[in-house]
Structure 1
Amino acid sequence: MKVETTRMTRNAYMIGTGIGNLAAAVYLIRDGGWDGHQITMLGLDTHGANDGAATKDFETEYGYGPLSNSRGYLNRGGRMLNEETYENFWDVLGSVPSLDHPGKSVTEEILDFDHAHPTKDIGRLIDSNGLRVSGPNGYRHMQFTNKQRYLLTKLMMLPESREHELDDISIREWFAETPEFFETNFWWMWQTTFAFKDVSSVAELRRYMNRMILEFSRINTLEGVTRTPYNQYESVILPMRSYLQGQGVTFINNRKVTEFVFADTPLRDDIIVTGLKYVEVHNADAEAMIEVGPDDLVFDTNGSITDSTSIGDLDTAIVEDQRYAPSALLWKQAAERFYNLGNPDKFFNDRTQSEWTSFTVTTSDHRLINEISRLTRQLPGNALNTFVDSTPLISLVVHHQPHYHAQKPEEGVFWGYALYPRRHGDFIDKPFIEMTGREMLLETLGHLGRIDTTADPISNRTDELMATVVNVVPAHMPYASALFNQRTTLDRPLVVPAGSKNLAFISQFAEMPFDMVFTEQYSVRCAQVAVYTLLGLDLPLTKLHHYEKDPRVLAKATRVMFR
């Protein structure tokens, strides 16, 4: 076995090149005084969980293969930012220069764009009668009963010290006495904005309701959503990689770390990584090892929500990737050796809690996007539209155009997703997961056709609109909502576990108090906790806001709850 040894200086090895480890590298350099040459990033691809890129770029990445149609673009998913509660995110990106606007930081670039293009969604919910705009079913009404208000308030007011009382309890179980909760406007909006399911952990719902209490009052318009100028890969990840490369950080792509080598210690009370076994993705038979010195640090992405994703194209359905998440396999190996490193199976061994399927549409002109704008009454950049009568529960997102630097002026790009991909379509008679990209788009056009009451409805022009389609790329993500799976308070390892001398976990599957998963904020804060703890830095963590304790915010939320 080849063994790599670097002993001239202290080193840090980052397993995974998502936003968490990129942020950890920034913290090491900015706050820890490290030189970039001390840091090595080991990744399976360049994206992390942040998308997008040209479809052909994904064909050569780990887990994907050649497609019959690799034209257009791919967004496996999307994450919304928030100006008020992404404190660590804005802090770190304030140290990263913009690639598009010299002299500005990425934070300044994003906030300037968002302030110039504020979100105001007026077509958040759509049923077979059209947009739920007014009346008792209007999307501004939460539609709670007093029982539901009581249960939601009881959940929010449960002290953090008693969160263990919610261990392994689903949202469905919490509201078992009032199952009509799952037909309220609130639930339709909440689950499709944040990708919760009724089987998701009620503990995570509690955290969201407290941390995002500001959004409760504006969930119907998404006015609290902060958008990036382009997709998050180009607007966030690429500037971070460029900055770190300029600082001397080494990036090694297509390298899969397969095993931690740990020191043998009495009673295994100490966690000390002494080596990292790995294979190159394109030569999996040649195993090698990096020797980790006693002063070196290891930062592991112990789980990724885009692991084991399968993609298709316009006329090719996905072939489901049944492999256990590669990033979680490494965590699993460590957890089998040490008792206090959580339980990865709770998140990666039950796809029914976590899977959903997205599809990205690229068109040769703007006709289809213009039709969506006409029917939803809003311009690109404002919309997250959910078809509440859709059996697979389809939602559409049309971003401000262009969404990619390389996107041609005449091209259009948007994406959608089905939260329940095993369910049959309403217009295409097969499970959503088995549909080709073309069929997914036709299923979506069927729901748009339901609400078009004009003399020349969209349903009359399906062939014309489909002729403008360059590609529709399905992406099935078995672990997309795995971070919301039912769990106990012990199922996620601490960022720096007790007894760890040089290993930290940075992901949505590490445990921190109060903050909420499925956010870039969570990953970046994990990075700060990891770096400050392992380096022993006597610096305060970035201050988090506690809007759930602000009387004015609570008063506004209460008014909305009774609306």
Structure 2
Amino acid sequence: MDIQNSDRKAYFIGGGIGSLAGAAFLIRDGGVSGSNITIYESLPVLGGSLDAGGNPEQGYTLRGSRMLTLNIYECTWALFNTIPSLTDPNTSVYEETVAFNERVKSNAKARLIDKNRAIVDSSKLGLTMANRTELLKLSEASEEKLGNSSIYDWFTPSFFESNFWFMWRTSFAFSPWHSAVEFKRYLHRFMQEFPNVETMTGVRRTVYNQYDSMILPLEVWLKSHGVTFMRGSTVTDLDTEYGLDPKTGSEKVIVKNLVYENARNSKTIEIKDGDLVFYQNGSMTDASSYGSMTSAPKFYTKADSQGWTLWEKLAKKYPEFGNPAVFNSNIAESFWESFTVTLKDTAFFDQMEKFSGNKAGTGSQVTLKDSNWFMSFSLNQQPHYKDQPSDVQVFFTYGLHPDRVGNFVGKPMTECSGEEILRELAGHLKFDYDVVFANAICIPCRMPYITSMFMPRLKTDRPLPVPKNSKNLAFISQFVEIPDDVVFTVEYSIRAAQMAVYELLEIDLEIPPITKFDKTVKVEVETVMKAFH
């Protein structure tokens, strides 16, 4: 029988941006009633990896921050152009973001800093002719040829000492052992940023952190449409079976029941004919842990969080649902550590602005290229949190090599308290710790799987948003297969959600296509010229 979309029920497993966007697409484009949509989230807060928390007294927290651009991220901005801003209901989040970036523009003047605290002339990429040939060879290789090779496999050692590598890897968080396929995709997707890699003039920011500026407005919009949020609730199992799909005449996997538990009880929800289930498989911030000014973050794995268990169960039964072990079996190559610093005076910002030549909000990333921890940080326009007092400043920093012994603190970043991390940062910048961080609160965060989606993999290791053998189950996360697009972006989750919703509901609307800047003559010429600078 035909089922009206308004009568369907939809269940989302995970409360990240993919699920929130998927719910919006169901309502906006699919005619599904918001009161028929339920989102289950294990944590007490929505947003997944786009979270933010804390306060000025105990210190703010931010596990990560995603780089945004306005000339791509097609699905993201098309969605947020229909979501009202929380500050002005007559203005969309997209319009608010555009206006903000017209006022505060990026033009980094201190992208790289060396061990002598000298600003590096990073307009010179430092590529040899051999490096340029290697870049060209990789960028033109097919994904089938690249297979599950790593970036290491395609370049000689000199490449990994070039200014280009230092800047490109810290812009996107690559390490040499990561997937050559993903690296190639980034070279193409962000080729228009290649000529400005040292100034990062193409980078755009939201008014506040991405939780306050993107997640909260979307959550408020969904709530106004009657969506149910089940925080503190973990989906532990999906009962599935093969059934006949009358439209295709083939056997497909059908979810029959959803099992979840929370502090109050465990409950089974029947998934009726026509109902849909959307699952955020895997998580880059799974098993995260926070430290403090006096303690280092604890070491957690998936055994502590159980965040990968459901995907592992499904993949064991249905190979078409991917291979999570490729992504979650090597913490040593998928983890790094970030830290958020809350300041009660302007001393650090004042000295950093004077040194770099950039006012807060205009400088993008600063990378300490000779740091053993390979630290990068950025000073955003303040306030960075919507409830942040005017006399408080906040900035975010991360280290891509937290397992190495610091240059100024004689132990790995993973063993350091917030105070020790700030002493390491002050040492690199040659700032007086007691002056710039006398009133600072530093909260470090260890993330075992933060770059797990970059691990070398084959195409079959990630499921399609809607696997060909699935009738009512879709996957919407950083661990699905979308041709040509790049993971570790807000866009990837939102595009996956839109693809899944449109396919399951058979919505005959165009999904915004990926902009092919890499195919334009202007970008190609500018990129070649920059590569030889």
Same fold (TM over 0.5): yes
Aligned residue number for residue 228 of structure 1: 206
Structure 1: segments with no counterpart, 5+ residues: 1-7, 57-69, 450-457
Question: Within 5 Å, which residues of 2 pair with 1:309-458?
Answer: 309-324=288-303, 326-381=306-361, 382-449=363-430, 458=431
Maintained 8 Å contact 1:271/1:501: yes
Once the two structures are superposed, what CA deviation does each residue of 1:33-84 show, in whole Å capped at 9, x if it has no partner? 111111111112323111322259xxxxxxxxxxxxx702001111111111
Deviation at 1:169, TM superposition (A): 0.5
For residues 105 and 289 of structure 1, the distance between their equivalents in structure 2, rounded to whole angstroms, comes to 38
Maintained 8 Å contact 1:123/1:131: no
Question: Within 5 Å, which residues of 2 pair with 1:57-96?
Answer: 71-96=58-83
For normalisation by structure 2, the TM-score amounts to 0.95
Aligned residue number for residue 217 of structure 2: 239
Aligned residue number for residue 3 of structure 2: none
2:88 to 101, 124, 135: 101
Maintained 8 Å contact 2:327/2:453: yes
1:464 partnered with 2:435: yes
Aligned residue number for residue 554 of structure 1: 524
Amino acid at match of 1:54: G
Which secondary structure does the structure 2 equivalent of 1:216 belong to?
Answer: helix
Maintained 8 Å contact 2:193/2:202: yes
For normalisation by structure 1, the TM-score amounts to 0.90
Which secondary structure does the structure 2 equivalent of 1:441 belong to?
Answer: helix
Once the two structures are superposed, what CA deviation does each residue of 1:474-519 show, in whole Å capped at 9, x if it has no partner? 0000111111111111110010001211000000100010111111
For residues 366 and 102 of structure 1, the distance between their equivalents in structure 2, rounded to whole angstroms, comes to 33
Amino acid at match of 1:262: T
Amino acid at match of 1:33: G
Which secondary structure does the structure 2 equivalent of 1:420 belong to?
Answer: coil
2:252 to 270, 293, 299: 270
Amino acid at match of 1:271: V
Deviation at 1:232, TM superposition (A): 0.3
1:538 partnered with 2:516: no
Q: How many residues align?
A: 521
For residues 146 and 269 of structure 1, the distance between their equivalents in structure 2, rounded to whole angstroms, comes to 54
**Residue identity (%):** 39
For residues 108 and 131 of structure 1, the distance between their equivalents in structure 2, rounded to whole angstroms, comes to 38
2:497 to 527, 544, 561: 527
Deviation at 1:248, TM superposition (A): 0.9
Once the two structures are superposed, what CA deviation does each residue of 1:323-358 show, in whole Å capped at 9, x if it has no partner? 246442211111011121111011111112210001
For residues 166 and 447 of structure 1, the distance between their equivalents in structure 2, rounded to whole angstroms, comes to 38
For residues 113 and 54 of structure 1, the distance between their equivalents in structure 2, rounded to whole angstroms, comes to 24
Question: Within 5 Å, which residues of 2 pair with 1:130-149?
Answer: 130-133=117-120, 138-149=121-132
Maintained 8 Å contact 1:166/1:488: no
Which secondary structure does the structure 1 equivalent of 2:278 belong to?
Answer: strand
For residues 418 and 285 of structure 2, the distance between their equivalents in structure 1, rounded to whole angstroms, comes to 19
Once the two structures are superposed, what CA deviation does each residue of 1:148-195 show, in whole Å capped at 9, x if it has no partner? 11111122123xxx31221221101111xx211000000000111100
Deviation at 1:269, TM superposition (A): 4.4
RMSD across aligned C-alpha pairs, in angstroms? 1.7
Amino acid at match of 1:399: N
Deviation at 1:538, TM superposition (A): 1.7
Question: Within 5 Å, which residues of 2 pair with 1:251-290?
Answer: 251-265=229-243, 269-280=251-262, 282=263, 286-290=265-269
Distance 1:245 1:311, change over 3 A: same
For residues 108 and 328 of structure 1, the distance between their equivalents in structure 2, rounded to whole angstroms, comes to 37
For residues 122 and 491 of structure 1, the distance between their equivalents in structure 2, rounded to whole angstroms, comes to 41
Aligned residue number for residue 197 of structure 2: 219
Distance 1:441 1:269, change over 3 A: farther
Deviation at 1:413, TM superposition (A): 0.6
Aligned residue number for residue 16 of structure 2: 18
For residues 513 and 364 of structure 2, the distance between their equivalents in structure 1, rounded to whole angstroms, comes to 31
For residues 316 and 306 of structure 2, the distance between their equivalents in structure 1, rounded to whole angstroms, comes to 16
Which secondary structure does the structure 2 equivalent of 1:340 belong to?
Answer: helix
Aligned residue number for residue 186 of structure 2: 208
